[in-house]
């Protein structure tokens, strides 16, 4: 049986097809404006709020989320310190996470959030409310353009688009079942 196996493997190795280059993916144009991003995000349940600058971040967050008692952020002093080792029991009590988004996609309202900006991998999902801060100069029109900017950005990250939503076969919509109940994008 070993000789048969060796013959089969040798035949497979000898008959490798020649390598072909990957096809070129066309870059599609599109509207990368803040207006388009805002419209699409609103359509999927998110909200855009304009900041005058990063110095207005903390007061704006306080105004938008006055009831948030347990907040986590690397952008201003939150009430709960969070890092990669924070137990999930502590994370589950966080009302609001304010994190830095890196790329916004106008065609679908998604924001790229690399692991380095999450404080903890579970935080953007387990928090009750999520606020992502995004530089308007980092808006792109399409997912193709967003992915073109991602190589070498680390081992983990995710695109976040709107609050968590799910529905059953009876079409009962539930917001926040699998993630944050609300998403606010703070553009500056």
CATH of the domain at 87: 3.40.50.10420
- Give the confidence band of 168 by pLDDT, cuts at 50, 70, 90: confident
For residue 106, what are the domain limits? 2-187
Q: What is the pLDDT of residue 29?
A: 83
Q: Is the pLDDT of residue 152 over 80?
A: no
The Cα 150–Cα 144 span in angstroms is: 10
Which residues have CB under 8 Å from 115's CB, separation 6+? 121, 154, 155, 156, 157
Structural domain total, the chain: 1
pLDDT tens digits, residue range 108-132? 999 999 999 999 999 999 999 999 9
pTM given for the model: 0.83
Q: How many residues does the chain have?
A: 188
Q: Which residue has the higher pLDDT, 166 or 184?
A: 184
Which residues have CB under 8 Å from 173's CB, separation 6+? 165, 166, 167
89-71-181 Cα angle (round to 5):
75
The Cα 183–Cα 128 span in angstroms is: 9
pLDDT tens digits, residue range 12-36? 888 888 888 888 877 788 899 999 9
Outline where 70-139 has alpha helix (H): 88-91, 123-126
Q: Is the pLDDT of residue 177 over 80?
A: no
- Give the confidence band of 153 by pLDDT, cuts at 50, 70, 90: low
């Amino acid at each position: 049986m070993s000789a048969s196996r060796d013959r089969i493997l040798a035949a497979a190795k000898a008959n490798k097809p020649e390598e072909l280059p990957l096809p070129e993916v066309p870059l599609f144009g599109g509207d990368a404006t803040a207006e388009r991003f805002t419209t699409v995000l609103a359509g999927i349940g998110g909200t855009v709020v304009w900041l005058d600058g990063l110095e207005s971040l903390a007061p704006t967050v306080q105004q938008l989320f006055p009831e948030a008692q347990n907040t986590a952020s690397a952008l201003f002093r939150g009430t709960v310190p969070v890092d990669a080792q924070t137990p999930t029991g502590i994370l589950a009590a966080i009302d609001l996470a304010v994190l830095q988004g890196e790329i916004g996609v106008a065609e679908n309202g998604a924001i790229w959030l690399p692991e380095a900006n999450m404080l903890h991998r579970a935080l953007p999902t387990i928090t009750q409310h999520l606020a992502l801060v995004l530089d308007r100069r980092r808006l792109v029109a399409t997912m193709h353009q967003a992915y073109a900017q991602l190589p070498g950005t680390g081992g983990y990250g995710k695109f976040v688009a709107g609050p968590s939503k799910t529905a059953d076969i009876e079409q009962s919509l539930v917001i926040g079942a699998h993630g944050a109940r609300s998403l606010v994008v703070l553009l500056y």
